[in-house]
Chain A
Amino acid sequence: MKSLAFVALCAVATASMADCYTKSNIHLTRQAIDAGPTDFQQTVTPDARGFKCSVRYRVHIGRDWQTAEGSAVATTESEACTRATDVGRGQLLLEVEPNTVSADTELVCSDQPEIRVRRVHVGDRIWESETDLHILPAERKYFTYKGTQCRTFIERDARDQNMYLYQGIMCKEDSRPNTKWLVLDKY
């Protein structure tokens, strides 16, 4: 009885932590993407044909970062994930809106941390898409500082009936493809 209660508690805890989206029928095209793909989070599961890899990542389209997902099956894990990472296989994920969920809605849930634009501070280790791109396209390009890849970002802060706009600098922690970024400055 005790173990049943424990399992039920775990299931509730897991469900409440999971971050769910509905899978849209919007397929990505490279032309529409301003920045990214970045911040890859992959899940690999065994499959009858080998391995199934689902990769969730972020792309900047228009004015916002959006979450997309691609999946692929292959005989090896690395092959499956390489294919899943191909933007051409990606579909945008939409936030769940309770009024629009119907019986045939495909929900995509994950226990991996949800990535959103948020307020950051100097010294924070963050995902790239936790900050907004600079307003000026010329300032969005990556640059090198002390041998690491860096970029500027902006942060909007609506407070006391004013809109404050901060600019910041963040740099990749190392050259591996999916590492976090360190906030070096914000002003």
Chain B
Amino acid sequence: MIRVEELEKHFGALHVLKGVSLEVQKGEVLVIIGPSGSGKSTLLRCINLLIEPDSGRVFLDGTQVNRRDIRPEWVRQQVGMVFQSFNLFAHLTALQNVTLGPIRVLGTDPTTAGAQGRKLLARVGLADKADAYPAQLSGGQQQRVAIARALAMNPKAMLFDEPTSALDPEYIREVLDAMAALARDGMTMIVVTHEMGFASEVAKRILFMDAGRIIEEGSPEEIFHSPKQERTRMFVGKILR
């Protein structure tokens, strides 16, 4: 479903991605862990072309998409993204946040989009919050609206960039539950997270990234309990404690 080959990215003098390759099958959940500054967020943003990689190839459904003749908007429309800081549109209600993409990008008529939007909000447990503005919602609720907003575009895959890192502890569970439900429904997902419970439960594979490279790849069991690389061991030791 998603394949990345030899991705390179510099920000000025900073070499952020140093030849990253990965592949995610349809319906698979891939978790990426690693210290801050290791290039995880940049990797996700290169996959939906929010950031243009310096070199390397990004494939979606077997088609290389980081090409001059393919509009990045067309790619982003098919790959949903959920952000650490939710990034809900502050001037729109929860429902309007969810329907903006379908109405303005897909050209769905507002009535149909509204009905779909309400269904999606119900799916993340927020049917009663359709008319609330982001400022009236808790962090957990905002993040679930953000998930519904991304789902509204009917994406082929979803990218999650530390979706629970900005949440108060009491709201983390509800967001992880929504994501686990999504995984059970067969959504292809790449998740940057340090939630070990979630990773063990939902992910088949975990990638450990450090300093712009993928250091180790394995099942949750392997990565968390018997990592081969010293750097993985040190990092896992820190976050498990």
Q: Do A and B come from one complex?
A: no
